Amino acid sequence: MVRIFLWDLDGTMIDSGPTIIGSIREALAECGLPDVPAERARGCVGPPLIDGLPRFCDVPLDRLDEIIAAYRTIYATQMTSAPLYPEIPDTLAKAAELGIINAVATAKPETAARTILAAHDLTDAFTFITGADPERGINHKEQVIELCLERLSEAGYAGDPLMIGDRSYDMEGARACNIDAVFARRGYGEASEAGDFPAIDSPTQLLDAPYAATSPTRA
């Protein structure tokens, strides 16, 4: 059975923290809400904004849609400036040479994910790019993973999926979908967020056993 890598985007492939945090703080100011320290806003790098903003930035639920709309307008002007982690292009290419299928499963809106990956000339590196679609009620990681796997299956790609992410939301989403996962330490999550899944320090480690193979990776 072929291995399928399901890649998270923020904190796993791109160092998007500064652009996300800065856009959140600008949106709060624009909407007249209190500022939050960058370290608190950092918690929003990874999870859906509908979860992260109330939890980490004290955004009232009745102002949530307003803040998200302001954030997305601001972020759209900055998102392609977030740098790609340097090992990512080579890792993707070598994974493909090994017969591994690369796909994206991110809680970021799919349109934004596609724009960012296109800016880094990585669109063609992925069989599918799947992200959140709030209009269809697809916001949480397990929903995105399910949709990505559904697309792969419908296109005739059968394999053994491995979720690669840097937050507990990625690990929990994988667990909910009953697939393996690996935690990227270099991202924006705390080490404890790996739970009982293994962790890596560099994406190049994915090219070796057990990650490139189809054996289970959960401890």
Percent pLDDT > 70 in the chain is 97
Whether 17-80 and 2-15+82-207 are alike in CATH topology: the answer is no
**Domain 17-80 is in which class?**
mainly alpha
Q: The pTM is what?
A: 0.91
- Reduce the DSSP state of residue 86 to 3 states and report it: coil
The mean pLDDT value for 28-52 works out to 94
Whether the pLDDT of residue 209 is over 90: the answer is no
How many CB atoms sit inside 10 A of residue 158's CB? Answer: 10
Residue 47 banded pLDDT, cuts 50, 70, 90: confident
Q: What is the pLDDT of residues 110-153, one digit of tens each?
A: 999 999 999 999 999 999 999 999 889 999 999 999 999 999 99
pLDDT of res. 214: 63
Residue 189 banded pLDDT, cuts 50, 70, 90: very high
Q: What is the pLDDT of residues 59-113, one digit of tens each?
A: 999 999 999 999 999 999 999 999 999 999 999 999 999 999 999 999 999 999 9
Is CATH 3.40.50.1000 what the domain over 2-15+82-207 is classified as, yes or no?
A: yes
Q: What is the DSSP letter of 85?
A: P
pLDDT of res. 158: 87
Q: What is the pLDDT of residues 157-173, one digit of tens each?
A: 989 999 999 999 999 99
SS3 string, 155-190, reads CCCCEEEEEEECCHHHHHHHHHCCCEEEEECCCCCC
Which residue carries 């904190």 as its tokens?
Answer: 11
pLDDT of res. 2: 86
Lowest mean pLDDT across 18-27, 187-196, 209-218 = 209-218
How many CB atoms sit inside 10 A of residue 184's CB? Answer: 26
Which residue carries 């934004």 as its tokens?
Answer: 112
pLDDT of res. 215: 45
For the chain, domain boundaries: 2-15+82-207, 17-80
pLDDT of res. 218: 38
pLDDT of res. 219: 37
Q: In the chain, which ranges are E strands?
A: 2-7, 101-109, 128-132, 159-165, 180-184, 199-200
